[in-house]
Amino acid sequence: MQLSNIIFLLTFIIAISFFVKNLNKIISNIKLGKNVNRSDNKDIRLKNMFRVALGQSKMFDRPIAAFMHLLIYVGFVIINIEVIEIIIDGIFGTHRFLAHIISPNLYSFLIATFEILAFLVLFSCVIFLIRRNILKIKRFFGKEMTKWPKTDANLILIFEVLLMSAFFLMNASDQILQSKNVSHYLVAGSFPISSLFVGLFDGFSVETLILIERVSWWFHILGILGFLNYVLISKHLHIFFAFPSTYYANINKLGKIDNLSSVTKEVKLMLDPNADPFANTDSAENVPTALFGARDATDLNWVQLLNSYSCTECGRCSSVCPANQTGKLLSPRKVMMDTRDRIEDIGNNKNEDKFLLGDYISNEELWACTTCNACTDACPINLDPMSIIVDLRRYLVMEKSSAPTELNNMFSNIENNGAPWQFPAADRLKWIEEQ
């Protein structure tokens, strides 16, 4: 094994180790959430996962963006098949390993496919950069889309452009070296895109071409390993988490708000004088929680925390939110991002004197929500920001008795009259008699 192979192997092991370590940290943060049972209806959940996460069905509500995203998604996934070959070559010092074990025609087909897809990925990334920075699509902006979130979106697109460019440079120089019968460079593959750049290397010496090919090769694989770890601190974590998020998503009809098991039990204890308040239950969901609703990220359930890490920050939720579109403070995207930031801080033992409610998300934001479920319906991977809003509002009402005056009046009417209106049931039909 040569020194370069040893260096590659050590680099690969370190990159994978960092990835596993940081992924486990994220999973640990998610597990800080309350337990919730989402093991039911496995067939429906699997269907949703394949349809929404893999098939990207909800993306096509906006067909142009969906088509571009699909090109990047399919292209990047399939192109990474070649990463297997690159890893083998890097460890064992081979060159185009797959060309030795499959037919020349099949290998040429694969390489040609990779090149076409790589071009489509590059093209789509450029279009997305134009949409974000020149056309300035409104939903990509907002008070929460400043500093790192804005930079993150551009960085990943630029990074993919560079990776695809390195891929073409590697293949173009490799193609010339093959034609010159340079040892180690097996004549194999078809290069429909990179062959267009061969003319750029006219007059280059063999040594220079080898240097270009090697630098491009190292940049491509190190870029992929770097991307693998970068994803964990980026909105692009949805590449991995979209699948569990769609699987564990709420499958009830939109508009159905779950009852708090803790409240249900309290009501039953109140109505049943013979009930034992200390009786053990078999279901973890029936165990009373410390709070009604949620004050901090750890009061939310683990699916809600998983959702926060899965958020793509695409802004589709905020772009259809009636509160947001009428100038209210609420942005469902910000709710997801704030929840993720808060659980990250908790996991890193930061801001221990702060809470999700009040310090990250304000009361004004929460009460602007109409619970219309437009945000949940619009999310391309079935995330549910409204459930977080509802749980935080439950805490305000049930623990702090804090609600807008209009709601407090309604609560009093329900308590006294059995209805939201201020007049008793006997008087509700008197309007019929009015002239």
pLDDT at 424 over 50: yes
pLDDT tens per residue across span 82-134: 889 999 999 999 999 999 999 999 999 999 999 999 999 999 999 999 999 99
The pLDDT of residue 124 is: 94
More confident residue, 214 or 269: 214
The pLDDT of residue 268 is: 79
Which amino acid type is present at position 318?
Answer: S
pLDDT tens per residue across span 6-30: 999 999 999 999 999 999 999 999 9
Which string of DSSP letters, residue by residue, matches 322-390? Answer: HHHHTT-S--HHHHHHHHHHHHHHHHTT--TT--IIIIIB-HHHHHT-----HHHHH-TT---HHHHHH
The pLDDT of residue 435 is: 59
pLDDT tens per residue across span 219-275: 999 999 999 999 999 999 999 999 999 999 999 988 888 887 777 777 777 777 777
pLDDT at 286 over 90: no
Q: How many angstroms separate the first and last alpha carbons of the chain?
A: 98
pLDDT at 373 over 60: yes
* pTM greater than the 0.85 cutoff: yes
pLDDT at 285 over 80: no
The token pair that represents 92 in the structure block? 């064992």
pLDDT at 159 over 70: yes
The pLDDT of residue 288 is: 47
pLDDT at 343 over 70: yes
Mean pLDDT of all residues in 358-376? 95
Distance CA 360, CA 336 (A): 11
Q: How many CB atoms lie within 10 A of CB 376?
A: 19
Q: Are the beta carbons of 356 and 33 closer than 8 angstroms?
A: no
Distance CA 53, CA 382 (A): 9
Q: Are the beta carbons of 285 and 110 closer than 8 angstroms?
A: no
